[in-house]
């Protein structure tokens, strides 16, 4: 998608993590609205596919829980884009295959994998990415939490490390918003409901989950689209949200008001 010169993200230089699902949709949105976008993801094929599909978008492949890679990705984005205005943390995973689950069944390895990929990666991108924002005393950060952090669904989504990692991302978001508001840096998060991406393939294929969503996401009664979340990310990243900080913006078709 070509960048739109007069779009609401015109002139914004964005480091975005996550090259699939919600991250890919956000890259397309932000690019379409005029941003310069640098993407980081640990899957080189997803980086290649996204950069191939979105002319002008560039990226780097590596594990953002690895401090050296996270620091290097921020540095490469800074050099490539000529500066940074926005950080968007979307990369993350469900730890089910590593042993996440209800706490009495979960493994310590599952816990560590979830914290590494969801929380530590978000922390490290914030840790290094906020430095240029502080220098210019201006910028926006958008993190990705989840409705499961505060509105559980024990019957279908009892992955407690995942919920804890997303709750910690919400807390990090609000604490950072408080600390950096006077520096001109806004920090917000989106909290998606169930969205149709690779990550939620198991849930999308389960008739019981789909029946559950008819009540839990009553706006459509179905999984959301990645672009539903991308729209909220783009809003929070843009100057249209210039008086908005410390917000956890739920994008869920009504998940937390449904019951
Ligand atoms: N899909 C949903 O229903 C849903 C709901 C709530 C929150 N979320 C959150 O949205 C975000 C995006 O998920 P998605 O649904 O687009 O899934 P996805 O699997 O399509 O994309 C996630 C991407 O993050 C990358 N990634 C994971 N850990 C990484 C790491 N340590 N370093 C670099 N890259 C890493 C993966 O390689 C993948 O490309 C995640 O944080 C997820 O927790 C998703």
Q: What is the pLDDT of residues 105-124, one digit of tens each?
A: 999 999 999 999 999 999 99
The pLDDT value given to residue 179: 98
Sequence-distant (6+) residues with CB within 8 A of 76 are: 38, 60
Give percent of the chain above pLDDT 90: 97
> Would you say the CB of residue 25 lies under 6 angstroms from ligand 1?
no
Task: Write down all domains in the chain, each with its CATH number in brackets.
Answer: 13-251 (3.40.50.720)
Give percent of the chain above pLDDT 70: 98
CA distances from 213 to 68, 222, 259 (A): 40, 6, 12
| pLDDT above 80 (res 259) | no
| pLDDT above 60 (res 1) | no
Rounded to the nearest integer, the mean pLDDT of the chain is 97
CA distances from 243 to 63, 117, 190 (A): 33, 30, 16
> Would you say the CB of residue 146 lies under 6 angstroms from ligand 1?
yes
> Would you say the CB of residue 200 lies under 6 angstroms from ligand 1?
yes
> Would you say the CB of residue 194 lies under 6 angstroms from ligand 1?
yes
Over residues 15-47, the pLDDT tens digits come to: 999 999 999 999 999 999 999 999 999 999 999
> Would you say the CB of residue 19 lies under 6 angstroms from ligand 1?
yes
SS3 197: coil
Torsion of CA 77, 81, 82, 84, to 10 degrees: -60
**Which of ligand 1's atoms lies nearest the C-alpha of 65?**
31
Q: How far apart are CA 128 and CA 74, in angstroms?
A: 7
Q: Where are the alpha helices (DSSP H) in the chain?
A: 21-32, 44-53, 67-81, 108-114, 121-136, 160-180, 201-204, 207-216, 226-237
Sequence-distant (6+) residues with CB within 8 A of 192 are: 22, 144, 146, 147, 224, 229, 250, 251, 252
DSSP 224: B
**Which of ligand 1's atoms lies nearest the C-alpha of 229?**
10
The pLDDT value given to residue 6: 76
> From ligand 1's centre to the CA of 92, what distance in Å?
4
The pLDDT value given to residue 121: 99
* Model confidence band, residue 4 (pLDDT cutoffs 50, 70, 90): low
Q: How far apart are CA 62 and CA 76, in angstroms?
A: 12
Over residues 151-178, the pLDDT tens digits come to: 999 999 999 999 999 999 999 999 999 9
* Model confidence band, residue 2 (pLDDT cutoffs 50, 70, 90): low
Average pLDDT, integer, range 1-5: 60
Whether the Cβ atoms of residue 189 and residue 165 lie closer than 8 Å to each other: no
> From ligand 1's centre to the CA of 40, what distance in Å?
12
> From ligand 1's centre to the CA of 199, what distance in Å?
7
Which residues lie across from 187 on neighbouring strands? 141
């Amino acid at each position: 998608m070509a960048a739109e010169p007069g779009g609401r993200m015109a002139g914004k230089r964005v480091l975005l993590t996550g090259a699939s699902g919600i991250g890919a949709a956000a890259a397309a949105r932000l690019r379409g609205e005029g941003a310069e976008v640098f993407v980081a993801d640990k899957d080189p094929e997803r980086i290649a596919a996204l950069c191939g599909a979105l002319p002008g978008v560039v990226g780097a492949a590596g594990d953002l829980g690895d401090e050296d890679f996270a620091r290097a990705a921020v540095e490469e984005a800074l050099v490539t884009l000529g500066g940074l205005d926005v950080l968007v943390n979307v990369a993350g995973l469900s730890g089910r295959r590593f042993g996440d689950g209800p706490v009495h069944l979960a493994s310590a390895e599952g816990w560590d994998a979830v914290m590494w990929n969801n929380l530590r990666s978000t922390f490290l991108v914030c840790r290094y990415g906020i430095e240029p924002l502080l220098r210019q005393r201006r910028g926006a950060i958008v993190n990705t939490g989840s409705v499961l952090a505060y509105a559980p669904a024990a019957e279908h989504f009892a992955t407690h490390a995942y919920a804890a990692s997303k709750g910690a991302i919400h807390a990090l978001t609000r604490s950072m918003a408080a600390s950096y508001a006077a520096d001109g840096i806004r920090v917000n998060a989106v909290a998606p409901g169930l969205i149709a991406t690779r990550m939620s393939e198991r849930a999308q294929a389960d008739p019981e989950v789909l029946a559950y969503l008819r009540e839990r996401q009553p706006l459509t009664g179905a999984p959301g689209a990645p672009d539903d979340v991308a729209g909220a990310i783009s809003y929070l990243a843009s100057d249209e949200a210039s008086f908005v900080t410390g917000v956890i913006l739920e994008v869920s078709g009504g998940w937390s008001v449904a019951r």
